Amino acid sequence: MTPEQILTTTALASWKQVVARLDQALAPLSDEALHKEVAPGRNRIYYLVGHLAAVNDRMFPMLFAGNRLHPELDEPFLAQPDRKMPDSHSPADLKQALKEVNEKLTEAFEKFRPEEWLQRHSAVSEEDFAKEPLRNRLAVLTSRTNHVSFHLGQIILAR
């Protein structure tokens, strides 16, 4: 492997590890357990699962990695807070959507070459990117990996 390949493979390994831990934390949870709040008055695990699926699903267009799988999750799990709308999905369907999104993203990421990780993401213009090369695709991956970790820390509390 070239130095660039080792660097991007290391970052991708971190994403895969965090996503695997999330999957392990969620897999044993019953529908009832998924409806528990992570702390009194806070988001339910159910909501966080939908929220993570929606946020991660948005990486497909953001990283030019294909079309979104679940745009219908944006309204209930991004635009609205928990419990604002009637539950739109069964807990099992929601867990499956998250798993599917993360698996397809990982498949797409495995094919990225190092120079592709260094290219701009779709939320930054070519003009701005010329001035700010750190607004690259790898920055989106590390940011989303941290976002999963952030909510995983909360999910763990309610189990």
Judged by the rule CB under 8 A, the positions of this chain that interact with a second copy are 1, 3-4, 6-11, 13-14, 17-18, 38-40, 42, 114-115, 117-118, 133-134, 136, 138-139, 142-143, 145-147, 149-154, 157-158
In whole angstroms, what is the distance from residue 67 CA to residue 58 CA? 9
Q: Which is nearer to a second copy, 33 or 69 (CB)?
A: 33
Q: Which is nearer to a second copy, 24 or 88 (CB)?
A: 24
Q: Which is nearer to a second copy, 75 or 110 (CB)?
A: 110
CB of 95 to a second copy, least distance (A): 19
Long-range contacts of 65-71 (CB under 8 A, 24+ apart): 65/105, 65/108, 65/109, 66/104, 66/108, 69/97, 69/100, 69/101, 69/104, 70/97, 70/100, 70/101
Are 15 and 145 contacting, i.e. CB atoms less than 8 angstroms apart?
Answer: yes
Q: Which is nearer to a second copy, 94 or 148 (CB)?
A: 148
CB of 133 to a second copy, least distance (A): 6
Task: Find all residues with CB under 8 Å of 68, minimum gap 6, and list them.
Answer: 57, 58, 60, 61
Q: 3-state DSSP call for residue 44?
A: strand
CB atoms within 10 A of CB 95: 22
CB of 71 to a second copy, least distance (A): 25
Q: Which is nearer to a second copy, 9 or 90 (CB)?
A: 9
CB of 70 to a second copy, least distance (A): 23
